[in-house]
Amino acid sequence: MGFKKAVVLGRSGGAIIGLELAATRPEMIDFLIVHEAPVIELLSEADAEKWRSFVRDIYIKSQREGWRAAQTEFMASLINVPDTPYPPDLNERISGNVDFFFKHEFRVFFGFLPNVESIRNNRVNMVTAIGRDSDGAYYVQTTRVLAAELGCENVEFPGHHDVSFWMPEEFANAVMSTLERYGHAKEGQ
């Protein structure tokens, strides 16, 4: 797009991608928002093992019973996310990706351990964010641990883990207000 640096926003697995970019290609990042990264490897060994087991079970279910069965069980682990189908236009767009997600991305994302030292040393301008309605979900716990280890601020966004799907305007407003607060909003955005 012609810019040397980008504002990067990652939610869930996208947050993990943002963390890897911060560790390996920090020169590309103007500002990073990490929303509810499920970095379970940062939890205590007992908690991490609980979620590793969950991931194994979901993966096996996806292979034996198909992605729909795995998706139903996985979505049940998300706190305060509506258990109704996504809005029809969104559901149609993403449903083709869910099988690929479970086969190729799911275990990799949940097995990811961010290189906290590299991210800190790279001095990436960033915040972590959690949803106001996500309560004590594992991805909130991981995000809080991540913020503490990185020494960055953890901000509160409206909604829950899938807020960008169910409350896109509120999510966009929270992103813009975060960028403004940290001096990274550009004219015309």
52 inside domain = yes
3-state secondary structure the chain: CCCCCEEEEEECHHHHHHHHHHHHCHHHEEEEEEECCCCHHHCCHHHHHHHHHHHHHHHHHHHHHCHHHHHHHHHHCCCCCCCCCCCHHHHHHHHHHHHHHHHHHHHHHHCCCCCHHHHHHCCCCEEEEEECCCCCCHHHHHHHHHHHHHCCCEEEECCCCCHHHHCHHHHHHHHHHHHHHCCCCCCCC
pLDDT at residue 1, as a whole number: 66
144 inside domain = yes
- Averaged pLDDT for residues 149-154: 97
188 inside domain = no
pLDDT exceeds 80 at position 68: yes
What is the CATH classification number for the domain harbouring 71? 3.40.50.1820
56 inside domain = yes
pLDDT at residue 188, as a whole number: 46
77 inside domain = yes
pLDDT in tens, 1-28: 677 899 999 999 999 999 999 999 999 9
pTM for this entry: 0.90
44 inside domain = yes
186 inside domain = no
Choose between 156 and 90: higher pLDDT. 156
pLDDT at residue 85, as a whole number: 64
187 inside domain = no
Q: For residue 154, give its domain range.
A: 6-181
pLDDT exceeds 50 at position 163: yes
For the chain, the domain total comes to 1
